[in-house]
Amino acid sequence: MITVRVCCPADLSPQVTALLGGNPAASTLVVHSGASLSPLGDVIEADLPREAINPVVDALMALGVQEQGTIQLIPVNTWVSQRGLDAEDLARGASADAVVWTDVIERAYDESSLTWTYLSFMVLATLLAAIAVITDSVILVIGAMVLGPEFVPIAALGIGLVRKRANLFRQALRTLIIGFAVSITGVAALAAIGRMFGVIEYDDLLTSSRPGTAFIYSPNVWSLTIAIIAGAAGVLALTSAKSGGLVGVFISVTTIPASGNIALALVFGIWSEVWGSTLTLLINIVGMALAGWATLWVQQRVWNRVSREE
């Protein structure tokens, strides 16, 4: 269940009230006359199932509410209402499967923006991945995968294409390019300092057998297969009410470990690992982006059909 809260000028209030009150999926309708001071007008609230939200938001935007006021979508974690249960039974589809596009797009914009926090996580995750390569530690590789913040920008590429948001696509692509460039450059600089002071030894560490992390620079058909599966699963977790699957996605792809190995291999001139890790990085990004795009395209088609049938 989601509460749709609208703050709008008084002249729009009758239209918004009629739109929300006339929706058979709305289990409650509350009008706070004169409660909004900016904009000067009313606050109108209605409870609707997740699967009924998209048409309502589209209709409110067609009225121009977003230009003169605010549309808020507030998740209701727990509710007890026979009317609410009847409304969910009436709405087509399942709540857990419903894609609330407004929420998905806003999250994609927020988490794919280039910020100091994003860059900091990228550098720290790549540094952890480099240490994992040096120590041949699978545990540290997993930690680096979970720490990396790159998945949502990758998913945002598909969201930008499916929802025709060119600005979102450009923002996500810029964030990915700059994020990986900064993290690889920063970790390479730290690796060079470590080599200078003898902390990292070429012969003892980077040319020895590394069974736990050799997969990072040895891409194969399974690398692409895993990226496709992870991309599809990650987008499903982002767009549905079931977000627990994201952790599994984070520890399935090798984007961050590949960037950590690129930084080390550049410093020590191990060009075969530079090219192998770069290929692994590109395979993972392209595979996840394409799988995410395909998954979103299917979801949009399905929910457009559901909306038309309603």
Domain end call among 98, 115, 139: 98
Q: How far is CA 152 from CA 24, 105, 229, 253, 281, in A?
A: 35, 11, 15, 13, 16
Q: Which residue has the higher pLDDT, 154 or 237?
A: 154
Looking at the fold, whether 136 and 278 belong to one and the same domain comes out as: yes
Return d(Cα 22, Cα 27) in angstroms, integer. 11
Return d(Cα 5, Cα 70) in angstroms, integer. 8
Domain of 273, in residue numbers: 104-308
Share of the chain above pLDDT 70, in %: 89
Confidence band of 113 (pLDDT split at 50, 70, 90) = very high
Q: For 41-82, what is each residue's pLDDT tens digit?
A: 999 999 998 888 888 999 999 999 999 999 999 988 888 888
* Residues 20 and 46: beta-carbon distance below 8 Å: yes
Question: What does the pLDDT read at residue 134?
Answer: 87
- Encoded tokens for 147: 């720490």
Looking at the fold, whether 94 and 182 belong to one and the same domain comes out as: no
Looking at the fold, whether 92 and 161 belong to one and the same domain comes out as: no
Confidence band of 283 (pLDDT split at 50, 70, 90) = very high
Domain end call among 98, 126, 148: 98
- The residues pairing with 29 across neighbouring beta strands, listed in sequence order, are 46
Looking at the fold, whether 130 and 61 belong to one and the same domain comes out as: no
Confidence band of 308 (pLDDT split at 50, 70, 90) = low
Predicted confidence (pLDDT) at residue 307 exceeds the cutoff of 90? no
Look up the CATH number of the domain holding residue 6: 3.30.70.120
pTM, 2 dp:
0.83
Confidence band of 104 (pLDDT split at 50, 70, 90) = confident
Domain end call among 76, 98, 120: 98
Among 15-29, 95-109, 244-258, which range has the highest average pLDDT? Answer: 15-29
Looking at the fold, whether 136 and 272 belong to one and the same domain comes out as: yes
Return d(Cα 36, Cα 14) in angstroms, integer. 15
Looking at the fold, whether 26 and 137 belong to one and the same domain comes out as: no
Confidence band of 275 (pLDDT split at 50, 70, 90) = very high
Looking at the fold, whether 14 and 158 belong to one and the same domain comes out as: no
Query: Mean pLDDT over residues 213-236, rounded?
Result: 86
Predicted confidence (pLDDT) at residue 94 exceeds the cutoff of 70? no
Looking at the fold, whether 91 and 118 belong to one and the same domain comes out as: no
According to DSSP, the β-strands at 40-48 and 2-9 are antiparallel
Looking at the fold, whether 8 and 69 belong to one and the same domain comes out as: yes
Looking at the fold, whether 60 and 136 belong to one and the same domain comes out as: no
Looking at the fold, whether 61 and 186 belong to one and the same domain comes out as: no
Looking at the fold, whether 40 and 123 belong to one and the same domain comes out as: no
Q: What is the total count of domains within the chain?
A: 2
Predicted confidence (pLDDT) at residue 295 exceeds the cutoff of 80? yes
Return d(Cα 128, Cα 138) in angstroms, integer. 11
Taken as a whole, the chain contains a residue count of: 310
